[in-house]
Structure 1
Amino acid sequence: MSFRRLVSDLGRLCIQTASQSVAVQQQRTIHASVRAADSIRDAHRQGTRVAAGRVETMEGTTGAGTQTAVNTSSLDARLPTAETLKQQFDGVAYHELPVVYIRASKNNTLVTVTDTKHEVITSTSCRLEGFKNARKKTTIAGQTTGVAAGQRLVRRGIRTVRVQVKGIGPGRMTCVKGLTVAGVRVVSITDHTPLCELGPRPRKIRRI
């Protein structure tokens, strides 16, 4: 076999190899770690002293330096995009849908419905639905409030809404369930609960 023929065959093989399509998967690097149960503060409160070598193992998280590659292509397909704002739901654009604001505190659940101009359509709470005192902070009260708000929306001809939840009270998701029970279609649920990064200053360590 001549050298020229060998070069031509090799070039043809490279072209065929390059023309093959390769499926590429989108992956992200996610930090996964398990929180350490013990801390130096707990040890001080119990009156025990911590050696200097155990400080790094007790504070922070274990395995914080590990990285895991996870395929997020299926998850990214469910996240909203710029085209979602123009998507039609029952003939109404997404950004023109009424918004149901749910304030789930530890003692009550407040529901307020506004339009795109932030004008209040209707509002209710567990107290207005007949729950008093400690009964306001139950899951049944939250669901009843959601059903009542949903029935008011249906009577006004509103059957498709967006939901924005704030707070971690007991009526958090039961109120959303009550809306769906009343016949209201929930397009999206947004969690708007604020998270304090630092928060208030903790109590001083007790010294014995």
Structure 2
Amino acid sequence: MKYALILSKNKPEISQNKKESDVVSLYRQKKSNEHKNNLSEDVTKKGYYKPKTDFLSFQKKKKRKTTLSRNSKKSKIKGVLGKIYISTTKNNTILTLVDTKGNTKGWSCSGSLGFKNARKSTTYAAQAAAESIVKKAKIFGYTHMRLSVKGLGRGKQSCLRALTKSGLKIVSLEDKTGVPYNGCRASKKRRV
């Protein structure tokens, strides 16, 4: 035997005579009456009614992710912000100093400092190139730096180590080294 639930204002009563469809219709009537009671008496000229409660308050509110915008990050940095692009290859290490708009302010590489041939790819040459770009950055008045590293050369670590010890505050560090998804065929191995 099915029991039906009748909704009343005081307490729900269970009766055996009522069907489930009757209970649903009673529930809908009750809800519509409550909605009519919530309507305000202020009726506009066109005949529309203005409900007391907002329709949006019944909808689920979406949770927003709290992320820092670019403007808030810039406001926290007190000083002049610049960017250094570091490109490390098998034979050389190249550093480029850039302002926030992307204009090149200066550059340095281990080849331009007097290192030749195999000495260009050493860690000491990369460290010397980093020290020279720091001097140029201080001449332009930069205090904070963003670093962008690209390549798998030997001078990568020593270059970063020299930049962290230089006195410039490093805001961010990103690695843009490209990883092939089995792209070009690798060059033949040397036979020595």
Give the TM-score normalised by structure 2: 0.57
Matched, 1:141 2:129: no
Unaligned runs of 5+ in 2: 1-65, 188-192
Q: CA 1:126 to 1:198, structure 2 compared with 1: closer, same or farther past 3 Å? A: same
Unaligned runs of 5+ in 1: 1-80, 204-208
What secondary structure does 1:83 align onto? coil
* 1:19-43 residue CA offsets vs partner (Å, 9 max, x unmatched): xxxxxxxxxxxxxxxxxxxxxxxxx
Query: Alpha-carbon deviation of 1:119?
Result: 0.5
- Pair member with larger Rg: 2
The answer as to whether partners of 1:167 and 1:193 remain within 8 angstroms in 2 is: yes
Query: Alpha-carbon deviation of 1:190?
Result: 0.2
The answer as to whether partners of 2:81 and 2:143 remain within 8 angstroms in 1 is: no
Task: Tell me the number of residue pairs that the alignment of Structure 1 and Structure 2 aligns.
Answer: 120
Query: Alpha-carbon deviation of 1:97?
Result: 2.9
* 1:102-125 residue CA offsets vs partner (Å, 9 max, x unmatched): 000010000001112110011010
Runs of 4+ in 1 over 6 A off after TM superposition: none
For residues 118 and 91 of structure 2, the distance between their equivalents in structure 1, rounded to whole angstroms, comes to: 7
Partner of 2:68: 83
Matches within 5 A, 1:8-47: none
Matched, 1:117 2:104: no
- Equivalent AA in structure 2 for residue 111 of structure 1: L
* 1:66-121 residue CA offsets vs partner (Å, 9 max, x unmatched): xxxxxxxxxxxxxxx841632245425xxx83110000001000000111211001
* 1:127-177 residue CA offsets vs partner (Å, 9 max, x unmatched): 111211110101111111111111111122112110000001011121122
For residues 180 and 118 of structure 1, the distance between their equivalents in structure 2, rounded to whole angstroms, comes to: 22
For residues 186 and 114 of structure 2, the distance between their equivalents in structure 1, rounded to whole angstroms, comes to: 39
For residues 175 and 84 of structure 1, the distance between their equivalents in structure 2, rounded to whole angstroms, comes to: 30
What secondary structure does 2:181 align onto? coil
For residues 125 and 97 of structure 1, the distance between their equivalents in structure 2, rounded to whole angstroms, comes to: 22
Q: CA 1:119 to 1:198, structure 2 compared with 1: closer, same or farther past 3 Å? A: same
The answer as to whether partners of 1:147 and 1:182 remain within 8 angstroms in 2 is: yes
Q: CA 1:84 to 1:142, structure 2 compared with 1: closer, same or farther past 3 Å? A: farther
For residues 186 and 166 of structure 2, the distance between their equivalents in structure 1, rounded to whole angstroms, comes to: 44
What secondary structure does 1:195 align onto? coil
